[in-house]
Structure formats: structure tokens, C-alpha cells
Amino acid sequence: MAKQKRLTVGEEILQGAREALAAIKGDTSAVRVTIIPRIDVGEIRRRLKMTQAEFSRAFGLSLDSVKNWEQGHRSPEGPSKVLLN
């Protein structure tokens, strides 16, 4: 089996732009779709048998963030998302 040639950054950008243009025109056959599952912070916290305050302290998270995530007002992003996954 032959190795696929690795694209340069510029080639990847151009490929992405072509895919975006094709999708805009209605052709979704070449479009990559990434599905990011929702993180259920409340479920994680309950499995660990922790209060919101304990959970936020243990993982170095803001208590307000934990509350907002559990209430569905916001979703974890960046490093918090990685940590919770």
C-alpha cells in the first residue's frame, strides 16, 4: 500500500476553501464533517459523587463555569473541553 503524500499547509488551506465553495454550491460529497459530542458536565460530576464546588476546586475550574455548563447556558471550550473529555 502506497503512502499518501502529505499536504503542505498552503495545500490544506486551498483544499478546505475548495470544499467550502463546493458545500456552498450544494455539493456535499467532498465535505468532511466532524461531529463533536456534547459533554454532560453534570453527569461527570455526579459519577464522581462531587458537589459543584468540590468539582470546580478539584479540576481548577470556575464554579460559575460549572454551573453555566450544567444549566446549558454555555459549553466547555478549549482546555476545559479537553480536560472533561
How many angstroms separate the CA atoms of 35 and 72, rounded? 19
Q: Is the pLDDT of residue 73 over 90?
A: yes
Instruction: Look up the CATH architecture of domain 41-84.
Output: Orthogonal Bundle (1.10)
pLDDT reported for residue 38 = 87
Predicted pLDDT at 2: 59
Q: What are the pLDDT digits (tens) for 8-23?
A: 999 989 988 988 888 8
Closest C-alpha among 53, 85, 82 to residue 67? 53
The predicted structure's pLDDT at residue 80: 92
> Tens of pLDDT along 12-57?
899 889 888 888 888 878 677 777 788 999 999 999 999 999 999 9
